[in-house]
Chain A
Amino acid sequence: MPPELKFTSANFQTEVIGSDVPVMVDFWASWCLPCKAIEPILSELAEDYKGKVKIGKINVDQNRKIASQCGIQGLPTFILFSSGRVIDRRTGSQSKSQLKEMLNRVS
């Protein structure tokens, strides 16, 4: 498993918005059961898409401003960024193939 990539308010601008490769961000919280359940699948995908798409997560409780700027209304929310633009976003638990469908839009 690759090391888990964590985004925060401090690195969001450089790691996500300014990233050279597309980025998929998982907005999550510790009280959100679907967010916990999806962790192993995200690790698998991070490995599968290594070099093509960066996959990481951001805790909304600890990073309110980003959550607010991204208009997070429900969890988990997955947002796919490319060159700082939002390419796709989905809210609610996703299957692996649904997440792949998202990722394949940019890889």
Chain B
Amino acid sequence: MSAYSMHNQDKTCWNCPAIDLAGMVDFRACGQSLQISKARSDDSDTYILARCKRNPGLGVYDPTTITFAECPEWIERPYGYLLRDMRVMILGIDGYLGWTLALWLGNLGIKVSGIDNYNRRNWVKERGAHTVVPISRMSERLHAATSVLGIDINFREIDIMDRARLAEFIDEVKPEAIVHYAECPSAPYSMIDAEHAILVQENNVLGTLGLLFIMRDLVPETSLIKLGTMGEYGTPLTGRPIFEGIFPADAILKWDNREWSLGGELTPRDPVSFYHVSKVQDTFNVYESCKYWWLRSYDVMQGVIYGIHTDQVAADERLRTRFDIDEWFGTVINRFVAQAVIGFPLSIYGAGEQLRGFIALEDAMQCMVRLIASPPDPGQYGVVNQMSGYCSIRSLAETVAEIGSQEFGLTVRIQRVENPRVEADIHPFEPIYDNLPKEFAFQPKVSPEMEIYRMFELLTQPSIKQRIEEKKHLILPRTWWSGQKKPVETLEVIDEVEYAPRAKVYLS
């Protein structure tokens, strides 16, 4: 095991979810609260102490003295030290990412639990769409996870809005990390009409707010890994770098011949739909909870995920994760590949020069384990921009077209259509995404070409191709940010590419 992968070796019990803090646990040891604690006791030098829940024999001790590398409960795993039999709860475990992560974590020996209320299945059904890669019922998924991979998942059907039941489950499991995916992930869905906008904001914002209170009361030492999105930032037309949620100290504001360091302030957000607004509201709610109650959280500003592959989901048909291609729930690269498979022109909105950050499914899973392995400090609200690279939508379409033509002998066309969204088609974009590589030793392993190739392999299977054909009328958008409901017009057919098939190169 290389020392490089042990990014978390120097963290101590201070960061470990398996301790109870003891002693004078009021972290606001400054300002008013310091005056109060001084008035209360002569010996105001009481340290914050710890008791280990896994090894009570240690008694009460200074939590900064034992490192993960020294603790026998933290064991070396591929993505850093991990707590032995660590308990991780995934909210939204039936989803595209949630299910994939459950198997990924289970495979690492983590004790996985999770909840879902099948909102996503119902929303997709409501739109008349379906996942083109068929997925099994939860009971069958759980059964297959056990029989094929030997992974037992503790699942409960719970709506995150049902605080009493969620609290009961959290209290029972006492998770050491909570990954929160259980939100509606769709911008266009939130723009359909008032009912949908309200549903998305209620579900996402209030669901998360309730969770924060439950964590305060039941598991304050547990780290919360909360999913945000790069779309929270928008694409500021000033062209300033898109920092990781918080300004660095060398970002200076100059005004009136004076200067200030902006270090530590949240950067401005400029969300691009009512869905994205819900994520911004979440950001503030999580940030405040860290401030008021010393919860610990990483807010993951995730780029667009693409792909279908991990070794676990590919192990059996019943273990596959969902894959949507409709205008509401399909994400861009996944949609392009599906379009190419059925000879539907890859549809670029507007100029196609929009720049976005992306990350392959497998790489996203790797990031999540690294974040779980290296919990934040008490009270720390940390932010990571999770992406492995960025490029224009048009160049993505071209990559998909090239692989589809060259490797799979498909005739792939690209078209520009009207953009139903309100967004800048051409804009500066300078995202910073250093935290994951620098602090958590994340290194992307999957190239876009490789994952696109794998997607073609799966989606060209006749039964899946048939399922794409069945829903092809739901590919082009009809949901306009203006509120109109009308099909978008084609502006231009950019390209007609037809390559003779040649040797497979992408997986070699």
Q: Is B29 in the interface zone, CB < 8 Å from A?
A: yes
Given A30-B379, A62-B48, A63-B45 in contact, is the A95-B265 Cβ separation under 8 Å? no
Given A64-B37, A72-B34, A93-B263 in contact, is the A29-B379 Cβ separation under 8 Å? yes
| Count, chain B residues at interface, CB 8 A | 37
Contact A31 B379 (CB under 8 A): yes
Query: Interface stretch among B223-231, B246-254, B452-460, B461-469?
Result: B246-254
Give Cα A94 to B260, complex, Å: 7
Q: Is B94 in the interface zone, CB < 8 Å from A?
A: no
Give Cα A61 to B34, complex, Å: 10
Q: Is A7 in the interface zone, CB < 8 Å from B?
A: no
Given A60-B29, A68-B38 in contact, is the A31-B378 Cβ separation under 8 Å? yes
Q: Is B381 in the interface zone, CB < 8 Å from A?
A: yes
Residues of A within 8 A of B252 (CB): 95
Q: Is B31 in the interface zone, CB < 8 Å from A?
A: yes
Q: Known A-B contacts: A30-B377, A41-B263, A73-B34. Give 19 more (CB < 8 A).
A: A29-B29, A30-B27, A31-B290, A33-B246, A34-B249, A34-B265, A37-B248, A40-B249, A60-B29, A60-B34, A61-B48, A63-B29, A63-B47, A68-B38, A72-B29, A72-B34, A77-B30, A95-B260, A95-B261
Residue of A nearest to B243 (CB): A37
Residue interface bits B15-51, CB-to-A below 8 A is 1, else 0: 0000000001001011100100110000011111000
Q: Is A46 in the interface zone, CB < 8 Å from B?
A: no
Contact A62 B64 (CB under 8 A): yes
Selected contact of A31 from candidates B27, B47, B247, B263, CB within 8 Å: B27
Give Cα A73 to B44, complex, Å: 15
Give Cα A62 to B454, complex, Å: 51
Residue interface bits A60-92, CB-to-B below 8 A is 1, else 0: 111111111000111101000000000000000
Contact B30 A38 (CB under 8 A): no
Residue of B24, B246, B261, B290 with most chain A CB atoms under a 10 A cut-off: B261
- Give the interface of A toward B (CB within 8 A): 9, 27, 29-38, 40-41, 60-68, 72-75, 77, 93-98
Q: Is B447 in the interface zone, CB < 8 Å from A?
A: no
Number of A-B contacts (CB under 8 A): 115
Give Cα A98 to B252, complex, Å: 11
Give Cα A31 to B31, complex, Å: 14
Residues of A within 8 A of B421 (CB): none
Minimum Cβ distance to chain B for residue A28 (Å): 10
Give Cα A93 to B34, complex, Å: 20
19 A-B pairs within 8 Å (CB atoms) are namely: A9-B45, A30-B378, A31-B27, A31-B294, A34-B261, A34-B265, A36-B380, A38-B264, A60-B30, A61-B27, A62-B47, A63-B29, A64-B24, A64-B46, A66-B45, A67-B34, A73-B31, A94-B249, A94-B261
Residues of B within 8 A of A97 (CB): 259
Give Cα A61 to B364, complex, Å: 35
